[in-house]
C-alpha cells in the first residue's frame, strides 16, 4: 500500500515541484516510510511508500531506469514474481533483491504497453517514456488499487486518491449529479465505472491502461477473460484438486509480508476458508499465528440469533494456531467517525455495514498488523451455481434437472416442485410463452415491467427524469445485477457482476479505508488466476449434489471445520444497523430530514424522506427499505456539507 501522484503538462509548461508536494502531503497516510518526487520539464511523478513486503524496503520510487529513458511510480504488489523473473531474464541475481517496481519497469521495456497483461497482483502505476514522449498508466484487473485522474487539453494529473487532485487550484470541485442519481436510485454499483462523485474527476477502470501524449489520449483494455472457454477435466476430484491448487496459491502469494499478518474472520465460508488456509501455510513454515479479527454482537445474540456467528468463528479458532481478536460492533453507530470516513473514503458511504469494516481495520492497526486479508468476494468469484438448473432445462436434460433440483430442495428444505420450477424451468421459458400459459389458465397476463419502482427510493421524480434514471434501469447491467432479469449467458452475467458490480466499488472503498489505518487489504478471491478458473468452471461443479458453491466446500475438506464447510445461509447483521442508526443518531437524522436539508432538496423528495423516517421510528426493526433510504440520504447530505462540491 502506497500513494502515487503525477502531473503532465501537455502544453509543455514546466511542472511545479510545489504542486506535486501539495498532492503528496494530502496522501501522507498512505505512505509513512519514504517519500520522493521527480520532475523533468513538463512531467512530474511522486510516490509515498508504505513498506509491507520484504522487497519493499529496497524500493526507490519514482524509479529511474539505468538508461534514463523511463521513470516509474507505482502502488503495486506483484504476485507472480518467480514467473516474471524467469521470463524477463533476471534469474542471475537474488530474487529477494528484485523489487516489484523493477519487475514492472522491466516488463514495460520488454513488452511495451502489453505489459500489464503479464502482471499478476494488485497495481496502479504510471511510466514516463522519454523516447516516445508519452505517459503510460495501468490499473490491475479487479481495480484493487485506485487510480483517479483529471484531464484538460493542457494538463493531465493523476493520483491514488481524489483529495490529491482537489489539492490543485485548477481542478474543479463540481458535484457529479449523475452519480448522485444512481446512488439514490440504489443502482450505483451497476454503471458509471469510470466516474466519481466529482464531475471532472474520473477513474482508470480495472483491466484498462491509458496512453497520453500532447496529440492523443487513448484508453484500452489489456485483459479480459475468454467467456467461451469451459474447463474440461476427467472427474469431480480433478476439479477439486485444480481449484484447491489455485486457491491455495492465491492465499500463499499474498502471505509475502515483513510485518504481522491479519485476516477478517466472520464465520462465513469465504473469510474462514482464507483464514484456515493461511493458518495452515503459516504453520508449515513456522511463522507466528495468523491474527484474526471478528465483528461480534453479544448483546443482540439472544433476541436476533441470526446476527450471532460466534459458533462458526469458534469452530475455526478451535483448530488452533489463530490469534483471535473480537470487535464489539454492537456498541458502534453506523455513522461512527463519519468525518474521518468521508475524508478518507472521499464519497458518500456505499453500504450500511461499512462501519463494521472500519472498526475491524481499526482493531487490526492496534495489533501492529500491516497486511489484512478479507473474504471479498467469494460469492461473486465462485457464484452459487443455481443457474445450472436453468442450463439443464434449456438443454432438455430432464433427468439431471430432476436429480439436481431434488438434491437442492433437500438441502434448502424446500418444495422440490418449487425449486425445479422457479430455478430451472421457468427461467428457461420465454416470457411471451408464459403470458400465453396464464391466459389459457384464465389468469390475467402480467405486465412486463422493468422491475424498478421509484417509490422504493427517495428520489425526486423531476430529478430522476432529468437524469434519465428510467432509461438507465433498462440497461443490461441494471437489469442483471439489481433486478435479476438477465438476458445474458451465465458466464456473461458472472463476468458482469465482477467487472461492474458492487465488488468493484467495495474494493476501492476497502483500499482507502485500510490506508487510513496503515493497512494493505489483500483479497485472495480477487486473484486473476482464480477468477479465470471459476469463469471457465462448468456450472455442475458450482452446484453439485444439492450444494451451492460446491467446488469451494469440497476443496476445503480437511482445512475448514465441518460446521463452516457445510453451513447454509449467512448471518443477518441488519439488526444492529436498524437499532443503532435510530438509537444513536436520532438528533442527526431529524436535523437533516426536518431542518437542514438544503444540500439535498434538489435531489431528494423531502416529504417522502420524512414519511420514511416516521415509518422507521414506528417500526425500527422491520422498516428495512426506509432505513436504507434514510441512510443513503443522510450520507449524501452530510458528505456534501463536509466536501462542499459545487453543483
Single pTM value for the model: 0.95
For the beta carbon of residue 112, count every other beta carbon within 10 angstroms.
11
State whether the Cα torsion 95-100-102-108 is positive or negative: positive
Query: What average pLDDT does range 632-642 have in this prediction?
Result: 96
Query: What average pLDDT does range 332-337 have in this prediction?
Result: 95
Report CA dihedral (420, 426, 428, 433) to the nearest 10 degrees.
150
pLDDT in the model for residue 453: 87
Cβ neighbours for 472, distance < 8 A, ≥ 6 positions apart? 182, 185, 187, 191, 478
Is 472 in contact with 177 (CB distance < 8 Å)? Answer: no
pLDDT in the model for residue 449: 47
Helix spans in 441-483 (H): 461-466, 469-472, 476-481
pLDDT in the model for residue 439: 64
Residue 399 to residues 66, 389, 404, 420, 547, Cα–Cα distance (Å): 66, 11, 9, 11, 18
CA 315 distance to own-chain centroid? 28
Tell me the pLDDT tens digit for each residue of 83-124.
Answer: 999 999 999 999 999 999 999 999 999 999 999 999 999 999
Exposure string for 461-480, b = 16+ CB within 10 A, e = fewer: eebbeebebeebbeebbbbb
Best CA proximity match to 175, nearest among 187, 167, 166: 166
For the beta carbon of residue 163, count every other beta carbon within 10 angstroms.
18
What span, in angstroms and rounded, lies between the C-alpha atoms of 599 and 348? 13
User: Which strands sit side by side in the sheet containing 63-64, from one edge to the other?
Assistant: 63-64, 70-78, 121-129, 134-139, 208-212, 217-221
Residue 202 to residues 128, 141, 406, 418, Cα–Cα distance (Å): 20, 17, 48, 46
pLDDT in the model for residue 437: 62
140 strand-pairing partners: none
Tell me the pLDDT tens digit for each residue of 291-327.
Answer: 999 999 999 999 999 999 999 999 999 999 999 999 9
pLDDT in the model for residue 193: 80
pLDDT in the model for residue 47: 98
Best CA proximity match to 72, nearest among 38, 33, 95, 48: 38
Query: What average pLDDT does range 473-498 have in this prediction?
Result: 85
What span, in angstroms and rounded, lies between the C-alpha atoms of 431 and 448? 8
Residue 422 to residues 256, 382, 390, 417, Cα–Cα distance (Å): 46, 22, 9, 8
Cβ neighbours for 343, distance < 8 A, ≥ 6 positions apart? 163, 642
- For residue 445, pLDDT beyond 70: no
What span, in angstroms and rounded, lies between the C-alpha atoms of 372 and 366? 12
- For residue 482, pLDDT beyond 70: yes
Q: Which long-range contacts (CB under 8 A, 24 or more apart) does 551-554 make?
A: 551/239, 551/240, 551/243, 551/382, 552/243, 552/247, 552/269, 552/273, 552/378, 552/382, 553/269, 554/236, 554/240
> What's the CA angle centered on 93, arms 90 and 96, to 5 degrees?
100
pLDDT in the model for residue 452: 85
- For residue 427, pLDDT beyond 50: yes
Amino acid at each position: 500500500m502506497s500513494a502515487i501522484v503525477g502531473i503532465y503538462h501537455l502544453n509543455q509548461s514546466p511542472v511545479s515541484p510545489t504542486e506535486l508536494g501539495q498532492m503528496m502531503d494530502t496522501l501522507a497516510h498512505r505512505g509513512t516510510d519514504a517519500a520522493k518526487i521527480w520532475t523533468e520539464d513538463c512531467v512530474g511523478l511522486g510516490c509515498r511508500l508504505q513498506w509491507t513486503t520484504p522487497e519493499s524496503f529496497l524500493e526507490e520510487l519514482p524509479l529511474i531506469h539505468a538508461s534514463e529513458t523511463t521513470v516509474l511510480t507505482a502502488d503495486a504488489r506483484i504476485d507472480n514474481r518467480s514467473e516474471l523473473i524467469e521470463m524477463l531474464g533476471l534469474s542471475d541475481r537474488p530474487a529477494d533483491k528484485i523489487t516489484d517496481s523493477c519487475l514492472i519497469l522491466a516488463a514495460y521495456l520488454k513488452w511495451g504497453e502489453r505489459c500489464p497483461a503479464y502482471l499478476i497482483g494488485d497495481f496502479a502505476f504510471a511510466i514516463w517514456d522519454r523516447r516516445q514522449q508519452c505517459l503510460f498508466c495501468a490499473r490491475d484487473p479487479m481495480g484493487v488499487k485506485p487510480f483517479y485522474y483529471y484531464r484538460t487539453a493542457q494538463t493531465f494529473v493523476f493520483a491514488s486518491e481524489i483529495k490529491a487532485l482537489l489539492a490543485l487550484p485548477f481542478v474543479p470541485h463540481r458535484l457529479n449529479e449523475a452519480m448522485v442519481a444512481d446512488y439514490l436510485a440504489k443502482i450505483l454499483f451497476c454503471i458509471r465505472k469510470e466516474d466519481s462523485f466529482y464531475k471532472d474527476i474520473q477513474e482508470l477502470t480495472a483491466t484498462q491502461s491509458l496512453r497520453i501524449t500532447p496529440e492523443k489520449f487513448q484508453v484500452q483494455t489489456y485483459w479480459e477473460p475468454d467467456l467461451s472457454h469451459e474447463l474440461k477435466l476427467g472427474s469431480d476430484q480433478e476439479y477439486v484438486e485444480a481449484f484447491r491448487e489455485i486457491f491455495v496459491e492465491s492465499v500463499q502469494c499474498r502471505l509475502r509480508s515483513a510485518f504481522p499478518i491479519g485476516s477478517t474472520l466472520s464465520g462465513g465460508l469465504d473469510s474462514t476458508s482464507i483464514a484456515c488456509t493461511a493458518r495452515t501455510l503459516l504453520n508449515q513454515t513456522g511463522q507466528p499465528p495468523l491474527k484474526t479479527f471478528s465483528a461480534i454482537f453479544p448483546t443482540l445474540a439472544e433476541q436476533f440469533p441470526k446476527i450471532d456467528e460466534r459458533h462458526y468463528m469458534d469452530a475455526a479458532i478451535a483448530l488452533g494456531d489463530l490469534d483471535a481478536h473480537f470487535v464489539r460492533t454492537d456498541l458502534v453507530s453506523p455513522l461512527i467517525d463519519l468525518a474521518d470516513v468521508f475524508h478518507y473514503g472521499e464519497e458518500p458511504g456505499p453500504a450500511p455495514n461499512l462501519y463494521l469494516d472500519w472498526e475491524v481495520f481499526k482493531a487490526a492497526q492496534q495489533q501492529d498488523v500491516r497486511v489484512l486479508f478479507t473474504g471479498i468476494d467469494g460469492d461473486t468469484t465462485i457464484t452459487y451455481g443455481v443457474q445450472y438448473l436453468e442450463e439443464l432445462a434449456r438443454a432438455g436434460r430432464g433427468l439431471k434437472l430432476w436429480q439436481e433440483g431434488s438434491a437442492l430442495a433437500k438441502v434448502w428444505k424446500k418444495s422440490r416442485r418449487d425449486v425445479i420450477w422457479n430455478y430451472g424451468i421457468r427461467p428457461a421459458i420465454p416470457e411471451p410463452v408464459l403470458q400465453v400459459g396464464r391466459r389459457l389458465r384464465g389468469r390475467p397476463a402480467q405486465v412486463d415491467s422493468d422491475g424498478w419502482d421509484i417509490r422504493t427510493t427517495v428520489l425526486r421524480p423531476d430529478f430522476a427524469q432529468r437524469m434519465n434514471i428510467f432509461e438507465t434501469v433498462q440497461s443490461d447491467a441494471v437489469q442483471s445485477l439489481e433486478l435479476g432479469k438477465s438476458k445474458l449467458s451465465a458466464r456473461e452475467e458472472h463476468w458482469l457482476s465482477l467487472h461492474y458490480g458492487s465488488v468493484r466499488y467495495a474494493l476501492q472503498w476497502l483500499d482507502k479505508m485500510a490506508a487510513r489505518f496503515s493497512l494493505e487489504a489483500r483479497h485472495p478471491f480477487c486473484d486473476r488466476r482464480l477468477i479465470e478458473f471459476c469463469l471457465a468452471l462448468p456450472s455442475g461443479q458450482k452446484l453439485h449434489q444439492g450444494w451451492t458453491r460446491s467446488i469451494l466446500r469440497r476443496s476445503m475438506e480437511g482445512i475448514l471445520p465441518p460446521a463452516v464447510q457445510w453451513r447454509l445461509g449467512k448471518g443477518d447483521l441488519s439488526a444492529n444497523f436498524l437499532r443503532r442508526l435510530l438509537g444513536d443518531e436520532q438528533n442527526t437524522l431529524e436535523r437533516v430530514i426536518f431542518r437542514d436539508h438544503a444540500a439535498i432538496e434538489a435531489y431528494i423528495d423531502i416529504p417522502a424522506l420524512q414519511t420514511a423516517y416516521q415509518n422507521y421510528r414506528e417500526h425500527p426493526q422491520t422498516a428495512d427499505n426506509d432505513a436504507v433510504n434514510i441512510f443513503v440520504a443522510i450520507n449524501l447530505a452530510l458528505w456534501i456539507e463536509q466536501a462542499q462540491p459545487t453543483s
